[in-house]
């Protein structure tokens, strides 16, 4: 089958590599003058992997859209709306859009599938592809489990049939709201974990995981999702890769923030926390961990004091 990848960063390029590896024809799209795309064109590789010569590299959105019926988008969450506007200039009717990305739109608080549906007014199917796994592990042939979710069960089954393999075992996600919120929010919990690492407070990660999952489950329930979804692959299932792994951008962002180091890669949790605060106010949900991380990053509160106060809150019942 033919597969288009919109986005040529770490994860987008990997999904092109993976789709090609399991036997699909692949086109990877990147913006004109994209540093990542130019590197791939010049060397057929990036810092994580080498792509085959039969993978097409293009900066033409028209070519990317017309190439296939299955279009995977993997870009910065705050850039998704602009990408969808570009895509909507071409015929997308009958195509399947798969969001292999995690985040919530700032200012609106919209989930990413909602952004796509709001911008692309054509007959399309929309799905998300989330869950644990790092490029560095996959290219070393270390397997993991991930999740496909959509409001249309037939779309889920078609995607799993195309992309399932012994390297990535795909499961069916039943709660799109909970999966999207959980997948996005775990990056904020990852930043918190990195901040604890920065202070050598790693022993508090157990409490962070327990309280973080409860916090996000309250929000999911308020929005209309299933609180149990947070205990699946999209959130807690991704904690090892996000809160502990040396490959986690969000964890590393938090650690470097505490140590006063500049972090140049994409850490989606830094923007997602803005959206979670917006949603917590909209749905009247107490989210102390997200509020603490927001206050440290954007209100410039003293990190050690904020984190200590977070875990030394007045005595409360656990549940």
pLDDT of residue 315: 61
Within 8 A by CB and 6+ apart from 305, the residues are none
* Spatial CB neighbours of 83, under 8 Å, sequence gap ≥ 6: 6, 7, 73, 75
Please list the ranges in the chain whose pLDDT falls under 70.
Answer: 313-319
Kindly state the helix (H) or strand (E) to which residue 20 belongs, with its residue range: helix 10-21
Read off the pLDDT of residues 261-314 as tens digits, 9 standing for 90 and up.
999 888 999 999 999 999 999 999 999 999 999 999 999 999 999 999 998 866
pLDDT at position 246: 94
- What is the structure's pLDDT at 194? 98
Strand partners, 127: 98, 150
The catalytic site residues sit at 186
**What domains, with CATH codes, occur in the chain?**
2-173 (3.40.50.720), 181-311 (1.10.1040.10)
Where does residue 44 fall: left (phi above 0), alpha (psi -120 to 50 degrees), or beta otherwise? left
Residue 317: per-residue pLDDT: 66
Residue 106 has a pLDDT of: 95
pLDDT on residue 311: 86
């Amino acid at each position: 089958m033919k597969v288009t990848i919109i986005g040529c960063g770490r994860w987008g390029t990997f999904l092109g590599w993976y789709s090609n590896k399991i036997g699909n024809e692949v086109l990877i799209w990147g913006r004109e003058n994209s540093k990542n795309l130019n590197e791939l064109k010049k060397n057929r590789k990036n810092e994580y992997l080498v792509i085959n010569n039969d993978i097409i590299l293009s900066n033409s959105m028209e070519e990317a859209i017309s190439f296939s019926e299955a279009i995977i988008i993997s870009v910065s969450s705050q850039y998704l709306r602009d990408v969808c506007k570009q895509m909507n200039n071409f015929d997308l009717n009958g195509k399947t859009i798969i969001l292999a990305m995690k985040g919530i739109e700032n200012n609106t608080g919209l989930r990413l599938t909602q952004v796509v549906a709001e911008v692309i007014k054509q007959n399309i199917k929309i799905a998300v592809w989330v869950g644990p796994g790092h490029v560095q592990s996959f290219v070393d042939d270390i397997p993991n489990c991930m999740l496909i979710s959509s409001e249309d069960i037939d779309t889920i089954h078609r995607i799993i049939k195309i992309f399932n393999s012994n390297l990535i075992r795909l499961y069916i996600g039943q709660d799109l709201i909970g999966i999207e919120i959980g997948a996005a929010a775990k990056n904020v919990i990852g930043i918190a974990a990195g901040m604890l690492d920065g202070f050598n407070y790693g022993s508090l990660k157990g409490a962070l995981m327990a309280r973080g999952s409860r916090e996000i489950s309250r929000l999911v329930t308020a929005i209309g999702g299933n609180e149990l979804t947070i205990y699946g692959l999209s959130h807690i299932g991704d904690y090892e890769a996000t809160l502990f792994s040396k490959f986690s951008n969000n964890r590393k962002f938090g650690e470097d923030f505490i140590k006063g180091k500049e972090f140049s890669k994409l850490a989606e949790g830094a923007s997602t926390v803005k959206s979670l605060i917006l949603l917590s106010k909209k749905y009247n949900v107490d989210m102390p961990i997200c509020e603490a991380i927001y206050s440290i990053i954007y209100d410039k509160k003293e990190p050690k004091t904020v984190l200590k106060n977070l875990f030394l809150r007045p005595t409360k019942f656990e549940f």
